[in-house]
Amino acid sequence: MLNFSSRLAGAACGLLLSGAFVSALAQAPTITSISPAANARNVPRNASLVATFSQPLTAASAGALKVFSQQRGGLRGAGTAAVAGSTLTFAPSAYDFRPGETVSYTVTSGAASAGGALATPRVGQFVAAVGGPGRGLYGGGFGLTLGAQPAALAVGDLNGDAVPDMVTANPISNTVSVRLSVRYTVYAAEVNVTVGQSPRGVALADVDGDGDLDLLAANALPSTVSVRFNNGLGSFSGVQDVGTDFGPTGLAVGDLDGDGDLDVLAAASGGGNGNTVSCLLNNGVGLFTAAPALTTGVNPVAIALGDVDNDGDLDVTTACSGSGAVTVHLNDGHAAFTYAQSTGTGNNTSIIALVDVNSDGFLDMAMLNPASGTTSIGTVGIILNNGMGAFQNSASFPIGVSPLAMSVGDVDHDGDPDLLVGDQSGRLNVWQNNGAGIFNSTGMAAINRAPREMVMVDMDGDSDLDCVIADLNLSLNTYLNDGTGPLATAPSTALTALTAYPNPATGRVHLSLPLAATRADLCDALGRTVRTVPAQVGTATLDVTGLAPGLYHLRVQADSEQANGVLMVE
């Protein structure tokens, strides 16, 4: 027979066992899989992002998945992910991802189950597929005259009309020039945004999380990064200039600390307290504070971000032209970086891209090594990743006479990344990948003049990658992939401007429309039609009473063309 003390001990043991069982049940969730896989390429543009967890999630976890577009819309559908059991899903239902863009995402610690919150956020990227007729033959296109010699270029939809806009940094005038699209191939006159002195780098990113692309400029002389906020119409305001180490040039943007907003890195190449990468952390609404800088090789000029060691955060690779090497820093997931290695394939390395060239799921390096010393022949270097962030098995190949600019993307619609390189002699060199990381020269196209910077993006709406080049001849030129597209040969005359009065509005709005218009649609930020009104000989009256305050898009169909406008409802 058990005595009292034995029964008490047994009860205590039972309580301990029960507590352990309850504790096991109360464990926080972990991520078991994410689709598309990290660093995936050629992902369908309408693909959903799905994070699967070890336990069912709370309804509030919908706000934990942040998805950022590089080219259109910035933060996509903030807080609108769907929770279903143990899955968290974002579907790009308002509009697809852009062809060839790098989409980034964060699963923050806001994802939780009954047992607690996700302990370790997950940050990743994937590349959206391209399509269209282009197979890497460039020609045709159109050009724009610039008011100042450009030092840097960025392309993205700034005014919500689904057509790419362009910005260039002007170190002589201390401005960034903005060229907004009127429609495909037709652009308004440039508008200059004042930034710090001698801007040498420029980037577009939604740093305040309001669903549009803001403007960042690296200013070499005052050693600052200017932050200018977009009002959704492509107009920029703000005076925030964040201090960096000396002489910033190249910029990179990504969620470094896993908190669901975009942070900024600036390559500071000025010597002294330069030869570093400045790390600026975002508070969630676009206000930045400096974190410890990363020490690099000599004269860092360009940065590429990616998860090179496959641990669910963004690591930093920096091209250092003075030492002819790329410095690799690995992230602990909280924006604390550890130096890992320096590697390279040539001298004067000026551009670095992280991309899976050999189809093994790991991010490799592609780097441009311009001519140096007594030779005018530059090279492109390829260094393979072993999957743990160690780069080895390098190769390089001659690329042209004094190459100056490089861009990476799938130019021939076969699912792997190719290279475009512009050189001093005014040629655009096309190098296509065989899928295993072996590149072959497949042609050249004449370009206006020696390029300063180039970007690959779909400029004519046919889903293949065209090439935009800012050159040293005060011009901004677009070269179309295969020289044609469904909108490339459309008439150059734009539709009558779409205007609304009053704007902002609270009640009835009078619209001025193209004469051929038969109706006007008012759409919300997700692209859903919320009002439709008939047109009467170039005019229409729209009632916005009862609509939630915010930014809306006006869309008008006239014959076979479309005009767009923006309306603010108060």
Place of tokens 């993205």: 156
Predicted pLDDT of residue 333: 97
pLDDT in tens, 427-442: 999 999 999 999 999 9
What is d(CA 550, CA 534) in angstroms, rounded to the nearest whole number? 23
- Two tokens at 71? 């080219």
Of 457 and 19, the one with more pLDDT: 457
Strands 263-268 and 82-84: unpaired
> pTM for the complete prediction?
0.82
Rounded mean pLDDT, 375-380: 81
Place of tokens 């908190």: 259
Helix, strand counts (H, E) of the chain: 1, 47
Rounded mean pLDDT, 187-207: 96
Strands 236-243 and 116-117: unpaired
Least confident range from 3-12, 347-356, 462-471, 549-558: namely 3-12
Predicted pLDDT of residue 277: 97
Does pLDDT of 378 surpass 60? yes
Rounded mean pLDDT, 289-315: 96
pLDDT in tens, 479-510: 999 875 544 443 333 344 467 878 788 888 88
What is the DSSP secondary-structure string of 347-392?
SS--EEEEE-SSSSSS-EEEEEE---TT--EEEEEEEEE-SSS-EE
Predicted pLDDT of residue 235: 96
Does pLDDT of 47 surpass 90? yes
What is d(CA 485, CA 499) in angstroms, rounded to the nearest whole number? 29
What average pLDDT does the structure give for the chain? Answer: 88
Greatest CA span in the chain, whole angstroms?
A: 101
pLDDT band of 566, cuts 50, 70, 90: confident
Place of tokens 């090497």: 325
Of 520 and 409, the one with more pLDDT: 409
Does pLDDT of 552 surpass 80? no
Rounded mean pLDDT, 186-196: 94
Least confident range from 166-170, 175-179, 462-466, 531-535: namely 531-535
- Two tokens at 407? 């861009």
Does pLDDT of 120 surpass 90? yes
Predicted pLDDT of residue 11: 47
Predicted pLDDT of residue 520: 81
pLDDT in tens, 524-550: 755 577 888 887 767 788 888 988 887
Contact present, 473 and 496 (Cβ < 8 Å): no
Residue 434: which of 420, 418, 421, 445 has the closest Cα? 418
Contact present, 556 and 519 (Cβ < 8 Å): yes
DSSP helix/strand/coil, 398: strand
Strand ordering across the sheet containing 351-355: 351-355, 364-369, 377-385, 391-401
pLDDT band of 382, cuts 50, 70, 90: very high
Predicted pLDDT of residue 272: 55
Place of tokens 């790991």: 362
Tell me the HSE value of 433 on the side-chain side, using a 13 A CA sphere. Answer: 23
Predicted pLDDT of residue 13: 47
Q: What is the DSSP letter of 483?
A: T
Does pLDDT of 447 surpass 60? yes
Predicted pLDDT of residue 527: 59
Residue 177: which of 185, 186, 168 has the closest Cα? 168
pLDDT in tens, 66-80: 999 999 999 997 777
